[in-house]
A and B are shown apart, each in its own frame.
Chain A
Amino acid sequence: VYGRTVEGEVLTFGHEGVLYRRSFVMYDKQSDSKWLHVTGEALIGPKAGQKLSFMPSEITTWADWSRRYPLGLALTGDKARGFMGSFTLKGKLKDYGLSLGEGSAVKLIRFSLLEQVPVLNTRLSKLPLVAVFDPTTSRAVAWSRRLGERTLQFDFVQGGKYPQMRDSETGSLWDRMQGTCLAGELAGKQLDPVLATAWLGKRWKGFFPKGEIMGLPEIKK
């Protein structure tokens, strides 16, 4: 999701109908520049070199989203049927990963790995972070592990009303999807979010060929 305002001008996008690195290209109706929808960057035309502002979003299930934001609005309409037929992502989330970082420091953590390791302590360059996963909604987010002077390490906690984790420094209990400490010495503390988005794994590889991918070993058939 991007902001459509570039240097004060509001752009309207259409489909160019061109495929580049497994991804569709957009054009803007104001300047006819060509934009990559996965990076928000203009490659060709008067806007070449410009970048759309990135807006954080998440991919989750309808059940999870509608429970959290019942007073929000949702797109409705007929199930889209183009000449590619109808399409759903249902059951395909395993092909996705959580993309972290920008530029030279990028990392993709596959959902298939997070299903096995729902609390994953790792780093992005020098930033210690924890990637977390909720198997009931297939939602993944990431939190900084820095809290004031401390750098925390987290462990998975089974069960509980909310998806939880525990830090090994103080043993405090955290809501892992909200980044909030529920009980213990750090109760009430909030972790800082790390900008992360869900990406289709094979598409991500095309855009970040040198990016690091964390996943399960591939099984050769």
Chain B
Amino acid sequence: MATMVLLSPLVAQEPISAADYTKNAKRAAPRDAFPVMDHPKMTLTAEIGDQIDPDEPVIGLLVQGQARAYPISVMGTCELVNDTVADVPIAVSW
């Protein structure tokens, strides 16, 4: 049986605030350099079958009984999808 330990961070960080953001946020790329999906192409899960690797991680969610899966390999560097499921506008990011 593994031993359990509690790891506590050594360095205290400023609380998240507008001031801390202004001080520490760094521009990594121009705005919109990373593509965002606004009209994601969706396919019936049963039809995709093994075209996606069975071990591939996916983000899965249920909205009012409707299932949606967002494979990480397709999300990729996009990282952000503006979608609507069961008339509920949602943002998927990871």
Contacts and interface: CB of A to CB of B under 8 A. Distances in A.
Chain A CB count within 10 A is highest, among B1, B33, B91, for B91
Contact of B88 (A3, A78, A84): A3
Contacts of A20: 21, 24-26
B83 to A, nearest CB: 8
Contacts, number: 267
A28 B27 CA distance: 17
Interface residues of B, number: 77
Instruction: Give chain B's interface secondary structure class.
Output: mixed
B18 A43 contact: yes
Interface string B31-51: 111111110111111101100
B37 to A, nearest CB: 8
B21 to A, nearest CB: 5
Which range holds the interface residue count of chain A? 35 or more
A12 B38 contact: yes
Interface of A: 1-5, 10-21, 24-27, 34, 36-37, 39, 41, 43-44, 48, 52, 55-63, 65-66, 68-90, 93, 113, 116-117, 138, 205-207, 209-210, 212-218
A127 B82 CA distance: 34
A62 B90 contact: no
A138 B16 contact: no
B57 A87 contact: no
Nearest to B79: A24
Nearest to A209: B13
A36 B90 CA distance: 15
Given A60-B60, A76-B42, A87 B69 contact: no
A61 B57 contact: yes
Chain A CB count within 10 A is highest, among B28, B41, B44, B93, for B93
B57 A60 contact: yes
A71 to B, nearest CB: 7
Nearest to A82: B77
Nearest to B92: A1
Contacts of B32: 14-15, 17
Contacts of B44: 71-74
B43 to A, nearest CB: 4
